[in-house]
Amino acid sequence: MTEFADMRTVYGDTLIKIGEENLDIVVVGADTTDSLKTKQFGKKFPNRFFNVGIAEGNLITIAAGLANEGKIPFASTYAAFLPGRCVDQIRNAIAYPTRNGKNGLNVKMVVSHGGLTVGADGGSHQQIEDIAIMRAIPNIRVLIPADTVAVEKLTRLISQTYGPFYMRMARSKTPIIHLQEQEFQIGKGIVLQDGSDCTIAACGITVQMALDASNALKQEGISCRVIDMFSIKPIDYDLLEKAARETGGIVTCEEHNIMAGLGSAISEVVSERYPVPMRRIGARDQFGESARDSEIPLLLEKHGMTSIHISNAVKDIRSKKQ
């Protein structure tokens, strides 16, 4: 039985742990600190916690000012409001300022409620453009963890790595995929299953779908390589090239518009390094809509984002190869 855990809880707990170790870590929130589970940090370290109210532009820019003075701010709210509302502030206050070879200011933008699985709040709140926005901005690195193990390790890692980061978490509890001892390196994908017939590269909640698809395909004698591409920028060029060479086809999965997201990032690499047939699973340039938790599978189904869609895409690639 797969175990599920809540990313936000792990994020909040990790902040307290690293906050104890590093006094420069500060947390900035925008009236969603309860939801993002950063409130506990504020209880523990009241002088290092700033709630700016429902003012995301201010959130980002105050974080930039704090970072300018040597602090390591974690700025958190929902994905729909952080990249969605603050492209200008992120670009000009965080990503652009560069001095003494340090690119961008040291702000960690960590959001929750990415993608369609936000559910009931509806299409307005289902951020499916954030990867596209964030990866187009120089100096910003983009991470989408697949589970709470990744959230914990990456939260710690980005607090220790200079530069602006964007990390997106899911609203709902997510299955635990990685072993506790799994190592994470920025810019390196993680091969979860090896295989030779096709590669499935996924991020966030779609990693579990990729594993499910791979397991189903195994029954049909198709061997898939499954990669957790949690680091979308920088992306693992070598691993992707190797996968293309060795498996001859790649299916990408993301809880994001297929335009300019993970699929696009991977096709950029593959088309430059070793072109092979590709299929992209994700929202097909359409907004989401409300769905209660029990209906989220229907919503994903409507957008063609299920393990069955992934399996079909793998088969489609194999038919093109033959």
Partner 1 sequence: MGLNYYHILKRVRDARKLVIRGTTSAGSGHPGGSFSMAEIMGCLYHKFLRYDPKNPLWQDRDRLVLSKGHASPGLFSNLAVAGYFDKSEIETLRKFGSRLQGHPDFKCPGVEFCGGSLGLGLSFSIGMALAAKMDTKNHHIYTIIGDGESDEGQVWEAAMAGSKFKLDNLTVFLDRNFIQQDDYTERVMPLDEELVGDDISEMWKNAARWKVGDKWRSFGWNVLEIDGHRIEQIVKAINSALQTKGTPSIIVARTIKGKSVEHMEDNPKWHGVAPNPKISPIIELEIDCQFLIAPSIIAGDMANLENEIKRTIHGRADFIHLDVMDGQFVPNKTFDHEKIKQLRPITHIPFDTHLMINEPVKHVRDYVNAGSDIVTVHAEVCDESSFGEIHDILRSNNVSLGLAINPETELPFWAEKFIPDLDQLIIMSVIPGKSGQKYIESTHEKTQRISKFLTEKNFQGLIEADGGVDLTNVESCFLDGARVFVGGSAIIGQKDVRFTITEFRKRLMHARRTLLINKAHDLGGTELVTRWIDLHEMGKKKTELLQIAKEAGFI
Q: Is 52 in the site for partner 1 (CB under 8 A)?
A: yes
Q: Is 71 in the site for partner 1 (CB under 8 A)?
A: yes
Q: How far is the CB of 46 from partner 1 (least distance, A)?
A: 11
Instruction: Tell which one of 46, 99, 179, 285 touches partner 1 (CB under 8 A).
Output: 99
Cα–Cα nearest to 68, from 42, 96, 107, 101: 107
The Cα 288–Cα 96 span in angstroms is 32
How much of the chain is helix, strand and coil, in % rounded to 5?
A: 45, 20, 35
Q: Is 113 in the site for partner 1 (CB under 8 A)?
A: no
Supply angle C-alpha 128, 131, 135, rounded to 5: 155
Q: Is 66 in the site for partner 1 (CB under 8 A)?
A: yes
Burial of 46 from C-beta contacts in 10 A (0-12 / 13-18 / 19+):
exposed
Instruction: Tell which one of 1, 2, 46, 70 touches partner 1 (CB under 8 A).
Output: 70
Helix residue ranges, H only, 136-229: 148-160, 206-219
Instruction: Tell which one of 35, 96, 139, 186 touches partner 1 (CB under 8 A).
Output: 96
**Measured between alpha carbons, how far is residue 16 from residues 11, 48, 152, 180, 206 in Å?**
9, 11, 11, 19, 28
Instruction: Tell which one of 26, 132, 140, 211 touches partner 1 (CB under 8 A).
Output: 26
Nearest CB to partner 1, comparing residues 9 and 58: 58
Q: Is 58 in the site for partner 1 (CB under 8 A)?
A: yes
Nearest CB to partner 1, comparing residues 86 and 224: 86
Instruction: Tell which one of 2, 43, 46, 47 touches partner 1 (CB under 8 A).
Output: 47
Binding residues for partner 1, rule CB under 8 A, total: 31
The Cα 136–Cα 261 span in angstroms is 10
Catalytic residue list: 56
Per-residue exposure over 67-81, b if at least 16 CB sit within 10 Å of its own CB, e if not = beeebbbbbbbbbbb
Q: Is 9 in the site for partner 1 (CB under 8 A)?
A: no
Q: Is 67 in the site for partner 1 (CB under 8 A)?
A: yes
Upstream peptide bond of 145 is cis (omega within 30 degrees of 0): no
Instruction: Tell which one of 13, 42, 57, 290 touches partner 1 (CB under 8 A).
Output: 57
Q: Is 72 in the site for partner 1 (CB under 8 A)?
A: no
Cα–Cα nearest to 257, from 144, 112, 128: 128
Q: Is 139 in the site for partner 1 (CB under 8 A)?
A: no
Contact range with partner 1 by CB under 8 A, out of 9-17, 56-64, 186-194, 205-213? 56-64
User: Which residues in this chain contact partner 1 in the complex, by CB under 8 A?
Assistant: 26, 47-48, 50, 52-53, 55, 57-58, 60-71, 73, 88-89, 91-93, 96-99
